[in-house]
Structure 1
């Protein structure tokens, strides 16, 4: 595929066309309505076709770029004005004759502060074929999940490693003074550059593999959606394959990323890891970490190898039932079997460079559904880890309270004398909805955490009231209190 090149004048005219027609995130939702827009997100376009029929030039752009429809030349010419149709054809923005189709995916993408346009390649559904090796992915579920998992505190410098279409860098411009984006793919950098200039954003673009383009530089924050697909060491598609075997791509980024952070700087990325027979996944990923790094690994899913292979074949537009699909699946599954892979874990990783003698490393599952974005919680997790490191030696002197978002659930079953409590569970109603099972003693301790008494006094009262040994109670309570603080069930006052 040829590398698309767009002049500043072309992009300025295209921006004018989009602004004139209302082709932005809010405009599309308003034109389609909530039901049709939601259906489109589920891959059900018919409602959007119907809703766009009466939306004039905006409807033409919606059908052209979002629905993959063929549109009459006259309608496209009018909708793209002041972009000349010949220029749009020459640039590869549209293709065909008389009935025109999109040559690139250009779609609105927004946040609570406004809207952008993201330029990428057409997916396999629109192409009707397998995507090419240098395919530049659009804004997919993985990209959106990383956007929601990224902490948005103000920083001076931010690196988007492996930028792809540039969507992570777009969001980074909201909170970073300077944004640098890298990619190994020339095509990805060209489309990311079009994305940034179309949105009138100044982002430094550098081409190269992994961290090589930014050697000897450091950043306050790094975000990365790496080519984390695991399997045999090959590169079928640059957007997802690294050429490294197994989960070595995720391991490489996690090993090297902290060395490119400023002191106290943070990194957030998506990653995959193998679940190998006889090995705990937490031990595996923890070995990837360099010294001087706080780390929070959050596992969101574990995929069966067969499901994993089928999903990624379809992602590239390959029918798993075809001869080509079966051959690729067989090669992939043989590799999994030879390496004793029982599953593929996927999740978020938050890293922080620290000079602490004993960095904090936590690996945990977060399989439940939740509504709040993980990014703010990741920032608060780092804050709580830092607080525990500073006050861990005098934890008994601290005063705690239970936040109002924490609930105590009591599950009871019928017993000989009525209802018998079988489970006591703390539940956070905000953030990722953490849950933690406790016993009656812990519940009683938390009931006293109102910010008035230090922890040592609460434990003394609890021991006296329940006939418990105070020293043993304190020894058992301290690690639990640390865990409850890390998860936001307790906060210092």
Structure 2
């Protein structure tokens, strides 16, 4: 055991749960409006909502707002013995005659399971500036990676740069063995406490200290997860949780570029990453250059792009720096000058998923996903690798001989715009096929492709036969139409709008 906090976490967590200090119970107690205020970081509103001073109100004030309280009040909440143990371990520290929680102990719902996460105190609820050694709890980025990482049964998992253990939490119920690494000793202490407090874990846990892949040199895993310090900037470390010390997007390049040698054949890796945009090279080509030439099937999804000024301002505010201050002015100028010297026109951010496909040539799909969606991305990523594996070795003739099904829930959209030539009415502008679930992919199609896709059936005609039948009915040349249909349907398969009959799971 690394830290006394681990023992205390295992003792404290059931006491808090018994008192109703869980994410769902807190949300129900506060109500939707005040729960949103809590998530926005508005402590005064939450303090007003807990003015009734019931036990759960006091726990929210103590553990979320970090309000001071007397030793007697804390004893009444969690018991005298546990209170003294937390004081002795400096989990609560004295502020004159009062005690204040010196870290963040907060319940979260992680992939549908109630968890308690232990980390450093952040600045969301108290007037506090996180220091260079700050260990993050659960943030928006970590939640998005949780939603994008499969939690299907798996043998071995590597959580690279575990921090407070959030990503490992998402794998506890599905993995046999989890190796969590971090170069920051205090992060591993928090991770041990977080993971030790989970009562329903099935995975064996191993914690290793060291940078990047060094602690697992020569080892391979079935699944790798990393939310690395991917902030794009100068080659320096201001805050260990976000700054890698590598220049620009070097952290993302390192984590992605070295992943394959630590993946078992058939294993997958799932990362958050950032990359620069320049006028000299497309972002997609830049990220593609980080992968080896063989052995990888990769899906790179860009979710957002920030201009340099916006990007710099966001991360300076992240460290609670007043944008009007002299320090912020100097930091902004240095950061933006570094971007200008490197020709950076923007910074992209998104997900990277990759699979070890053995000795086959590397294949990469890098694309933007700008549409809004709320469904978890992880099922789509697993299905994506299944779809592209099916596509990988098919020649056009074999593809044409295959049977397909239009995915249930795909909608056909016929968009018309005002007819400016006639001055009245509408004229057709575009036709789209759009998924109404998952990531809501949408493809523009013409009437020919829409009709062909509508005629597909897993027990019916093959694609080539469907095209031939349609061409005969329309007076078209099927030999000219088929190659275009094969290419178009292949794109629809890649995004899951059309499903090969071979991949349909029947009950």
* TM-score relative to the length of structure 2: 0.92
2: distance between equivalents of 1:7 and 1:278? 50
2: distance between equivalents of 1:10 and 1:194? 8
Aligned residues of 2:110 and 2:169 also touching (Cα < 8 A): no
- How many angstroms does 1:53 deviate by? 3.0
Aligned residues of 1:426 and 1:436 also touching (Cα < 8 A): yes
Q: Aligned residue for 2:331?
A: 328
- How many angstroms does 1:392 deviate by? 4.4
- How many angstroms does 1:356 deviate by? 5.4
Q: Aligned residue for 2:453?
A: 446
Aligned residues of 1:73 and 1:97 also touching (Cα < 8 A): no
Q: Aligned residue for 1:404?
A: 408
Q: Aligned residue for 2:218?
A: 216
2: distance between equivalents of 1:281 and 1:466? 42
Q: Aligned residue for 2:161?
A: 162
Q: Aligned residue for 2:130?
A: 131
Which deviates more, 470-479 or 290-299?
470-479
From 455, 464, 486, give the equivalent of 1:456: 464
Q: Deviations over 1:187-232 (max 9, x none)?
A: 1111111112222554210001100101111110000000000011
From 52, 55, 58, give the equivalent of 1:54: 52
1: distance between equivalents of 2:79 and 2:395? 64
Q: Name the CA shift for 1:344/1:7 in 2 (closer, same or farther; >3 Å).
A: closer
2: distance between equivalents of 1:469 and 1:169? 56
For residue 188 of structure 1, give the secondary structure of its aligned residue in structure 2.
helix
Aligned residues of 2:181 and 2:215 also touching (Cα < 8 A): yes
Q: Deviations over 1:29-50 (max 9, x none)?
A: 2322233212211223344323
Aligned residues of 1:57 and 1:75 also touching (Cα < 8 A): no
Q: Name the count of aligned residue pairs.
A: 490
Q: Name the CA shift for 1:354/1:39 in 2 (closer, same or farther; >3 Å).
A: same
Q: Aligned residue for 1:432?
A: 439
Aligned residues of 1:310 and 1:329 also touching (Cα < 8 A): yes
2: distance between equivalents of 1:80 and 1:322? 42
Q: Name the CA shift for 1:470/1:16 in 2 (closer, same or farther; >3 Å).
A: closer
Which deviates more, 75-84 or 342-351?
75-84
1: distance between equivalents of 2:103 and 2:242? 19
The alignment's C-alpha RMSD in Å is 1.8
- How many angstroms does 1:82 deviate by? 5.0
Aligned residues of 1:17 and 1:83 also touching (Cα < 8 A): no
Q: Name the CA shift for 1:51/1:97 in 2 (closer, same or farther; >3 Å).
A: same
* TM-score relative to the length of structure 1: 0.95
Which deviates more, 293-302 or 318-327?
318-327
- How many angstroms does 1:55 deviate by? 5.7
Gaps of 5+ in 2: 502-507
Q: Aligned residue for 2:505?
A: none
2: distance between equivalents of 1:127 and 1:32? 19
2: distance between equivalents of 1:132 and 1:42? 21
User: Does residue 106 in structure 1 map to residue 94 in structure 2?
Assistant: no
- How many angstroms does 1:253 deviate by? 0.7
1: distance between equivalents of 2:474 and 2:468? 10
